[in-house]
Amino acid sequence: MSDSLLITTITLAYLLIVLAVGLRARHNQSSSLEGYVAGGRHMGLLVLFFILGAEIFSAFAFLGAPGWAYSKGAPALYIIAYLALAVIVWWLIAPYISRLGRRHGFLTQAEFLSACYPTRGNLLGLFIGVVSVLAMIPYLTIQIAGAGLLFEAATSGTIPFWLGSLLACGVVAAYVYASGLQGIGWTNLLQGVMMVGVAWFLGLATADQFFGGVGEMFRELQREAPEYLTMPGAGGMGWGAFSTAILVSALGCVMWPHIFMKFYSARSERTLKQVFVLYPLYSYLLVPLLIIGFAGVLLLENSPLDSADRVLLTLVVELADFPAWLIGIALSGALAAAMSTAANLAHTSATILVRDVGQHLPVLRGISDDKALKLTRYGVVVISLAAYLLALANPGSLVGLLLGAYGIVVQLLPMLLGALFWRRASRTGAFAGLAIGAALTLLFQFGVSTPFGWHAGFCGLVVNTVVFISVSLVTHSSSSYSPAQALSSKG
């Protein structure tokens, strides 16, 4: 059997196993919308840990992160920093959100915020729903395109891009359609273990094969190109840009709807906290992947890559002397990272489309739980298909939409924290902060350059918070409860 055929066979076998595990999980599922979307609010420690870990670590972990180490060096550590620090925000707010979700039947992020800040016709909910979906579909497209790219490179073109992305997308859509969060749970467990194992193996084996070990590799890098090993790195990323990128990404991470909505699915607040205790250890997954990027600096010194994102593939598939079966397993691990994230994005976007956006259409107002469930499942298929077609068209052009829409979603953070912790938080203040913060973020993202090279979203957050606080203080308020507390005393 030729090498690329063997790689293809192993990878297809892996996809089949994922599909089987995902479809089998449908038996554990109750037939309610709550069961499909939030696992009946009954997910346990092990499964929830891997859902959260595997959804956060996406195709970016295997493509973009080594690419950062390869092209920029030390600034790539921002990825480890923010992914670990994100847990602090979760720790502070998630148990409470979970509790209110259970009490009031919330399933989406928009439902939570619009209950805290009621608007006429629930316009806030519609706005959040639309912007979230606009951020998530490009993100999903990038995962599917990443899967196609991985397939094509690892099988040396035996499986072309269109087919590879179709296979990954089809498997994901099938098990999410059939099994909802239960399907995502069990497959993410499998995919999570797979990606951690593959990442560590590849990192250590690559360093060992070319340099005789990780320490030896960094010694050589210290002699040849020491600028990669400390700030500001090879690309000259300043401390301001580095630090604000870490802060805004760590704070904003919680606002991704597919992460936020998982808080509702925990069996108990204690389970949620156990997941968070273990979570920082998951971010060690990036260490071996960054090592591969650093190895690329030395190994590709004479033939630099046009696209830094391909550094892992180039090293593992072309330069290293790994047997074909091992490359098949490595490809499966990298695909696991892309697919486990894609599954959550498709699942969450469909839920938001039906719950937050759909309820504004006259035909869907007040539909039954059964019908909403059916629509959500169709939504998964439609969204996956749309993302696949976008992946074929030109995924690169979607990055702007992703940054813009997600930039706005992050600006919901001050009003969320205000709703939870601050009794003076006022609706007027929250909306004023959101409007100005979002406008400023977009302006910085696509127009003007930011002061001191700070992250655009960070500048938006700072101004947003200042406006929110000052307007709220000016607005008269006699409440002795924060908006979220007032909610629970009513309920």
Partner 1 sequence: MKSRPSLPPRGLLIYFTICALAMIWPGALVANRIEPMVIGLPFFMFWYVAWVFALFVGLVIAYRHDAAQEVNDE
Name the residues that contact partner 1, by CB under 8 A: 74, 77, 80-81, 84-85, 87-88, 91-93, 95-96, 213-215, 218-219, 222, 226, 229-231, 239-240, 242-243, 246-247, 250, 270, 273-274, 276-278, 280-281, 283-284, 287, 290, 420-421, 484-485, 488-489
Least distance CB 329 / partner 1 (angstroms): 24
**How far is Cα 188 from Cα 261, in angstroms, rounded to an integer?**
16
* Cβ(10)–Cβ(328) below 8 Å: yes
Residue 266 has φ and ψ, to the nearest 5°, of: -70, 145
* Cβ(62)–Cβ(151) below 8 Å: no
Q: Residue 239 or residue 325: which is nearer to partner 1 going by CB? A: 239
Least distance CB 460 / partner 1 (angstroms): 18
Torsion of CA 111, 421, 272, 116, to 10 degrees: -10
Contacts of 323 (CB under 8 A, 6+ apart): none
**How far is Cα 272 from Cα 279, in angstroms, rounded to an integer?**
10
Least distance CB 363 / partner 1 (angstroms): 37
Looking at the DSSP assignment, which residues form a beta bridge with residue 266?
Answer: 43
Q: Residue 216 or residue 369: which is nearer to partner 1 going by CB? A: 216
Q: Residue 7 or residue 255: which is nearer to partner 1 going by CB? A: 255
**How far is Cα 471 from Cα 389, in angstroms, rounded to an integer?**
45
Looking at the DSSP assignment, which residues form a beta bridge with residue 43?
Answer: 266
Query: How many CB atoms within 10 Å of residue 250?
Result: 19
Q: Residue 259 or residue 442: which is nearer to partner 1 going by CB? A: 259
**How far is Cα 388 from Cα 410, in angstroms, rounded to an integer?**
26
H/E stretch holding 200: helix 161-211
256 residue type, one letter: W
Q: Residue 221 or residue 338: which is nearer to partner 1 going by CB? A: 221
Q: Residue 6 or residue 287: which is nearer to partner 1 going by CB? A: 287
Least distance CB 288 / partner 1 (angstroms): 11
Enter the DSSP assignment of 453.
G
Least distance CB 350 / partner 1 (angstroms): 30
* Cβ(98)–Cβ(271) below 8 Å: no
Q: Residue 200 or residue 421: which is nearer to partner 1 going by CB? A: 421
Q: Residue 270 or residue 371: which is nearer to partner 1 going by CB? A: 270
Look-up of token digits 């904003």: 252
Least distance CB 81 / partner 1 (angstroms): 4
Least distance CB 286 / partner 1 (angstroms): 9
Q: Residue 87 or residue 184: which is nearer to partner 1 going by CB? A: 87
Least distance CB 83 / partner 1 (angstroms): 9
**How far is Cα 295 from Cα 122, in angstroms, rounded to an integer?**
52
Nearest to 15 by CA among 202, 199, 173, 140: 173
Least distance CB 205 / partner 1 (angstroms): 14
